Amino acid sequence: MGFPVCRLPRRGGRLARTRGAIVATALMIGTACSPAAKEAESPVDTASNSPSQTRQEPATPVYGFRVVNRFPHDPTAFTQGLVFADGNFYEGTGLEGKSRVRRVALESGAVLGERRLPDEFFGEGIAVIDERLVQLTWKAGAGFVYDRHQLELRSRFRYSGEGWGLTTDGRQLIMSDGTDQLRFLDPNTFEEKGRLSVYDRTGQVDQLNELEYVAGEVFANVWPTDRIARISPQTGEVVGWIDLTGLLTPEERTGSEDVLNGIAYDEITGRLFVTGKLWANLYEITLTSP
Ligand SMILES: [Ca+2]
């Protein structure tokens, strides 16, 4: 068995995915993220968790967090995909009849533009690559390709299994499907070029959800937990965990919020943002050392 998250029940369908609503968070990672030293660097001090060192440690390191900024987030947005690009967020939301892809202002949370999915589709992860925005859907096996600026639908594609999270390293798309697998897709043909099993020192780590490529690692929300896995895209090994327990303060909890889901990385400044489904805030955070 894997990490404790692996023993949780699998995502149980629409009801399980629609519970709750509140706060979002944006993370800005890192002990190494002083404003003057952020550019294109890992958000944390990766020297402390190089593969050679982590192999000698008794457990996968667990990072904490510190909230740097708090921004408004649409509490009706069932966040399934989050990207920072062009100075704004791109967000994909879920639920049949409520799924959207939208561009959202960082500071105000204002919706600057959006496109609805047909009611039968449950939107999932998104990624921005070149001039395109790509969106998965949960169980329909259907992917959508939009013009990133106008959010106009340009084409569709098919894939097997479920669609959960999506990100890109700039060369290929990286996709999760609710299992422990990460798929690597050609960004033009959407053909699968490879896949990895994700594991930590206690076993496989499944229910990988929203993804973000961050300074050479793949960050993954693990449904339905407060943890983010930091995954090596070369090996599938979880090289670190981020524990976001307590991100929502008691005052921010309304009882209607759903789980933590949504990671975005500003690769120019090194800011890391996180939020959740139906959360009223989005947080910029930095990571603290284990
Ligand atoms: Ca993301």
pLDDT of residue 49: 44
Question: b/e for 30-58, b at 16 or more Cβ within 10 A?
Answer: bebbeeeebeebbbbebeebeeeebeeee
Tell me how far apart the terminal alpha carbons of the chain are, to the nearest angstrom.
23
Task: Fill in the DSSP letter of residue 237.
Answer: B
> What is the whole-number distance in angstroms between the Cα of residue 11 and the centre of ligand 1?
19
pLDDT of residue 208: 98
> What is the whole-number distance in angstroms between the Cα of residue 142 and the centre of ligand 1?
19
> What is the whole-number distance in angstroms between the Cα of residue 47 and the centre of ligand 1?
24
The per-residue pLDDT for range 165-209, each reduced to its tens digit, is: 999 999 999 999 999 999 999 999 999 999 999 999 999 999 999
Q: What percent of the chain has pLDDT over 70?
A: 80
Task: Decide if pLDDT at 284 tops 80.
Answer: yes
pLDDT of residue 255: 87
pLDDT of residue 58: 64
Give me the residue label for tokens 């929502």: 248
> What is the whole-number distance in angstroms between the Cα of residue 107 and the centre of ligand 1?
18
Number of domains forming the structure of the chain:
1
* Structure token digits, residue 43: 């958000």
* Strands 192-197 vs 199-200: parallel, antiparallel or unpaired: unpaired
CA pair distance 172, 61, nearest whole angstrom:
28
pLDDT of residue 233: 98
Neighbours of 75 (CB within 10 A): 18
Domain annotation covers residue 77: yes
> What is the whole-number distance in angstroms between the Cα of residue 84 and the centre of ligand 1?
8
175 touches 181 (CB < 8 A): no
* Strands 62-72 vs 238-243: parallel, antiparallel or unpaired: parallel
DSSP secondary structure letters along 40-96? TS-SS-GGGG-HHHHTTSSS--EEEEEEEEEEE--TT--EEEEEEETTEEEEEE-ST
> What is the whole-number distance in angstroms between the Cα of residue 131 and the centre of ligand 1?
17
Domain annotation covers residue 6: no
> What is the whole-number distance in angstroms between the Cα of residue 173 and the centre of ligand 1?
12
> What is the whole-number distance in angstroms between the Cα of residue 193 and the centre of ligand 1?
21
Q: What are the residues whose beta carbons fall under 8 Å from the beta carbon of 261, sequence distance 6 or more?
A: 79, 80, 209, 210, 221, 223, 275, 276, 277
> What is the whole-number distance in angstroms between the Cα of residue 81 and the centre of ligand 1?
5
> What is the whole-number distance in angstroms between the Cα of residue 283 and the centre of ligand 1?
14
211 touches 166 (CB < 8 A): yes
> What is the whole-number distance in angstroms between the Cα of residue 55 and the centre of ligand 1?
28
> What is the whole-number distance in angstroms between the Cα of residue 126 and the centre of ligand 1?
7
* Amino acid of residue 54: T
Candidates 95, 75, 71; CA nearest to 21 is: 75
Domain annotation covers residue 7: no
Domain annotation covers residue 3: no
Q: Would you place residue 75 in the very low, low, confident or very high pLDDT band (cuts 50, 70, 90)? A: very high
Q: CA Rg, the chain, in Å?
A: 17
Task: Fill in the DSSP letter of residue 179.
Answer: S
> What is the whole-number distance in angstroms between the Cα of residue 12 and the centre of ligand 1?
22
Neighbouring-strand partners of residue 213: 218
Q: pTM of the prediction? A: 0.82
Give me the residue label for tokens 């009801």: 15
* Structure token digits, residue 190: 């959407």
Task: Decide if pLDDT at 54 tops 60.
Answer: no
Domain annotation covers residue 10: no
Domain annotation covers residue 43: yes
> What is the whole-number distance in angstroms between the Cα of residue 100 and the centre of ligand 1?
15
> What is the whole-number distance in angstroms between the Cα of residue 174 and the centre of ligand 1?
11
Q: 105: domain range?
A: 19-288
> What is the whole-number distance in angstroms between the Cα of residue 29 and the centre of ligand 1?
14
> What is the whole-number distance in angstroms between the Cα of residue 56 and the centre of ligand 1?
31
> What is the whole-number distance in angstroms between the Cα of residue 102 and the centre of ligand 1?
14
> What is the whole-number distance in angstroms between the Cα of residue 15 and the centre of ligand 1?
23
CA pair distance 274, 192, nearest whole angstrom:
28
Domain annotation covers residue 204: yes
Neighbours of 162 (CB within 10 A): 18
Q: How far is CA 221 from CA 19, 166, 286, in A?
A: 17, 11, 16
> What is the whole-number distance in angstroms between the Cα of residue 48 and the centre of ligand 1?
24
Three-class SS of residue 4? helix
Give me the residue label for tokens 């994700």: 198
CATH assignment at residue 147? 2.40.128.630
> What is the whole-number distance in angstroms between the Cα of residue 220 and the centre of ligand 1?
8
Candidates 115, 111, 119; CA nearest to 135 is: 115
- In this prediction, residues 2-11 reach a mean pLDDT of 32
Q: Would you place residue 59 in the very low, low, confident or very high pLDDT band (cuts 50, 70, 90)? A: confident
Domain annotation covers residue 259: yes
CA pair distance 244, 31, nearest whole angstrom:
16
